[in-house]
Amino acid sequence: MTWITGIMSQESDITDAQLLEADIDTLQQMMSRGSLTSSRLVQFYLQRIEQYNHQGVGLNAVQYLNPEAVNEAHSSDVERATRGPRSALHGIPVLVKDNYETAGMPTSAGSILFAGFSPERDAEQVSRLKAAGAIILGKTTMHEFAYGITNQGSRYGSAKNPYVPTRNPGGSSGGTGAAIAANFAVVGMGSDTCGSIRIPAAQNNLVGLRGTQGLSSRTGIIPLSSTQDIAGPLARSVKDLARVLDATVGFDPVDPQTAESVGKLADSYYAQLAPMNSARVGVLVDWMRQDAADEPVAGVVRAGLAKMVEQADWQVQDLDTTNLVEVMQQPLNGHFVLIHDFKQDINAYLQANPELGYADIEALLADGRVHASVIESLQASANMGDSTWATYWYERGRRDVIRRHLLSMMAQYNVDALVYPTIRRIAAPLGEEQMGTNCRLSANSGLPAISVPVAFIEGVPVGLELIAESWSEQKLLNLALSVEQTLMMRRPPPAMP
């Protein structure tokens, strides 16, 4: 305890200002030299959550705090003193989305229907974070059942965008995005079915990666679509994102999708980070602007790409995407498979967890308490039946067509990645419909995509998305690092100093 006592006496050397926006490496350096403890770091974030989430602007991004977080941080400090850190995440506070099963904490998927559900088990991603020594600080707001992108739900209401609190933070992992942007934890975990990591990253001035389908385990995450769901981090920097990937990706015998990742992962995404200058990227023109309201975002993305040409020696080429537009014409605006999956997947989850008290999706709807923003979607899923299976399997097959078309464009034009806005509109006002998502390109092809900050419009962050071939996460991280270091767009929300 002498070492701990000594550290506690030195903690005044580190100010709150030094902890704000501090990345994982910086925090580990502070803890290694004894000027910071995990206990102090947890207290710093708890104070910010109290100040800005519950009071002040009332961000409503964090909904449940781990009652053992302070004790776990103290144990982490003792372990560091006696045995050294387990990994780069040792003692680092992490927030997780409310659809991740987390022992000792409720897991409601943002729904009042699941209030009180608290399975005593951890999602695989949570288990891996804990094994790396991370502190699970709490659970974040999400769009109910992850079925939307404006972060509304019957359990907790709506989270706010920390940059312009009258606007939404994106979804469905909007609470995680808002919380990490506001410095409520170092990094956070989300899930992406069609944009639910990348959209909050774009609208909260963060970096977010949707990996190749199978990169990360889905075990213990309440499902939306088993063919499209994938877990992953949101972070304030590419380096922090890579640190979390190193701790969480890879094969999980309970999730057969992850078997495809074997032999295809980097030994360390963090160790192989290097800004990818002199890159060649192709602009998907029909995903830049589809009507006049898309022009402001398209304009700042093009301006950002122009700076990459000037300052990072990128080559940028507009691509004819007429054929791609035709390929992407699918039933229910490309969401048929997702809508069909949800009925099968949520029914299976309800049957595996009878304590929830609902037999199937029809029972969820009959309860009458789900948020208005998801009723139509849930009903669309409930309507899927025997007559829809033929269309379902046809659309599943068309995913290969979409993937091959994207890969063919990359090969034909000899580009390292394809680029477009993550979402073609800035964050909509709270309660209004959010338009402009480009989520389907990655979600419906299974190809990896990363969103990185590119600009601000009216104080609201805008993201640029890059997509490339399967298992090219390292290349995408390096491209994003080049954008990050060239444009330097990351800044904390001014309303939360």
Q: 72 is written with which tokens? A: 């776990």
Give the active site residue among 108, 111, 154, 172.
172
Q: At 79, is the secondary structure helix, strand, or coil?
A: helix
Q: What is the DSSP letter of 65?
A: E
Whether 196 is catalytic: yes
User: How are strands ordered across the β-sheet holding 280-284?
Assistant: 62-65, 135-140, 93-97, 187-192, 230-235, 207-210, 449-457, 460-467, 417-421, 280-284, 315-319
Q: Where are the beta strands (DSSP E) in 86-142?
A: 93-97, 135-140
How far apart CA 419 and CA 195 sit, in angstroms, is 15
Query: How many other C-beta atoms are found inside a 10 Å radius of the C-beta of residue 99?
Result: 31
Q: Is the dihedral of CA 80, 86, 88, 94 positive or negative?
A: negative
> In this structure, what token pair is assigned to residue 100?
């991740």
DSSP-assigned beta bridge partners for residue 293: none
Angstrom distance (rounded) from CA 67 to CA 271: 34
- Decide if 130 is catalytic: no
Cα torsion 95, 98, 99, 105: sign: positive
**Cβ contacts of 222 within 8 Å, gap of 6 or more:** 99, 101, 107, 109, 114, 145, 146, 346, 349
> Active-site residue 307, yes or no?
no
The catalytic position among 154, 196, 381, 442 is: 196
Among 440, 446, 444, 438, CA closest to 473 = 446
Cα separation, 450 vs 209, in Å, equals 4
Task: State the catalytic residue, choosing from 38, 39, 76, 97.
Answer: 97
Q: Which of 192, 224, 221, 215 is nearest to 121 (CA)?
A: 221
3-state secondary structure 245-284: HHHHECCECCEHHHHHHCCCCCCCCCCCCCCCCCCEEEEE
Instruction: Tokens for 44, please give them.
Output: 């710093």
Query: Which amino acid is present at 436?
Result: G
**Residue 212: how many CA atoms within 13 Å on its side-chain side?**
25
**And the tokens for 141?**
């707001």
Query: What angle in degrees, to the nearest 10, is found between the helix axes of 372-382 and 336-352?
Result: 90
314-331 b/e (C-beta count within 10 Å ≥ 16 → b)? bebeebebeebeebbebe
SS3 sequence of 193-227: CCCCCHHHHHHCCCEEEECCCCCECCCCECCCCCC
Active-site residues, by number, are 97, 172, 196
